[in-house]
Each structure stands twice: as C-alpha cells, then as structure tokens.
Structure 1
Amino acid sequence: MKAVLDRIEENQYAVLLVEENTQEFILNKNELPEGSKPHDWFEVTIENDKITSLKVDPEFALAQEQKVKSKRDRLKKRSQGSKFKRE
C-alpha cells in the first residue's frame, strides 16, 4: 500500500495518510526513515491496524509530483485572469 507523510506535528509526531483505505496513522518521527519530509511517499505494510513496514518510494513521489504539475499547468492555460480589475 502507498502512504504519504502528510505532516509532522509538534516536531515529534509523523502523520501518514494511507491512500488505499484512507486511514491516518500517527507515528513517532524517529520511526521514519532518515531524511523523511512532508509529501514523501512510502510503501507500507499494515497488519492488525499497525504499520509494520515503511519504505521510501521516490519513484512514486516523483510521479505524483509530475501529475500535480501537469494539472496545475492545464488550469493555468484555462485561466483567463481575474474578473476583478484594479483601478
């Protein structure tokens, strides 16, 4: 399963969102792989409602980033500017 590191709270807790079953898991920050930061993607294994394995997935993270960039670019092309003009 895939999970994204949504945020770090109080500089101590890592909040992971699991994509497949829309679950949220809170881990101690020190349980993350070294250098992990918000918006990193992981391959996770869950057993008995607990994450038992966590591995960084940089290829999936890059693919997600490119997908978001593509959508943003399409929206910018459709945009006709603000309807509210300054005087």
Structure 2
Amino acid sequence: MKGILDRIEDGEKAVILIEEWNKEVIIPKEQLPCGSQLHSWFDLEMKEDHIISITLNQQTTEREQRKTNRLRNKIKSKKQLGSKYKRN
C-alpha cells in the first residue's frame, strides 16, 4: 500500500495520508526513512491501523513531483495569457 507524507505537526509527528483507505496515520518523525521530506511517497505494510514497515519510494515521489510541476506550469502559463474576456 502507498502513503504520502502530508505534513509534520509540532515538529515531532509525521502525518501520512493513505489514499486507499481515505485515512491518515500519525507516527513519530524519527520513524520516517532516511531522506524523507514533505510529499515523499512510501510503500507501507500495515496491520490494522498501524504501520509495520515503511520504505521510501523514490520512483513514485519523482513521478508525482513531475506531474505536479506540469500542472503548476500549465496553470502559470494560462495566467500569463490573461483572460479571454474584456473588461469594461
């Protein structure tokens, strides 16, 4: 199962979103794999509501970052073109 690091709360708690379950799991920040940062993707092994194993998935992280960058650039380019409607 996959999860994404959504945020760090109080500098101590890592909030991981698990889209498949529409749920968030909170773990101590120290339990994150080395190299983790906001919006990192993980491969998770779960038992009930607890993470048994967490591994950084660099490939998914990079792919999702590229998708985000493409969307951001698309929005930015539309803003630069301006509105097709004239102001009075």
TM-score when scaled to structure 2? 0.82
User: Who is 1:15 aligned against?
Assistant: 15
The total of aligned residue pairs comes to: 83
Q: Distance in 2 between matches of 1:8 and 1:60?
A: 20
User: Who is 1:85 aligned against?
Assistant: none
Give, in angstroms, the shift of residue 81 of structure 1.
2.9
Q: Distance in 1 between matches of 2:32 and 2:23?
A: 17
Question: 1:33-69 CA deviation, whole Å, 9 max, x = no partner?
Answer: 1232211110011111111110000110000011111
TM-score when scaled to structure 1? 0.83
Taking every aligned residue pair, what percent have the same amino acid on both sides? 37
Structure 1 portions without partners, runs of 5+: 83-87
The alignment partner of 2:16 has SS state of strand
Q: Which has the higher helix share?
A: 2
Question: 1:3-24 CA deviation, whole Å, 9 max, x = no partner?
Answer: 1111111111110001212210
Q: Distance in 1 between matches of 2:35 and 2:58?
A: 12
4+ residue stretches of structure 1 with deviation over 4 A?
A: none
- The root-mean-square deviation of aligned C-alpha atoms, in Å, is 1.8
Deviating more after overlay: 8-17 vs 30-39: 30-39
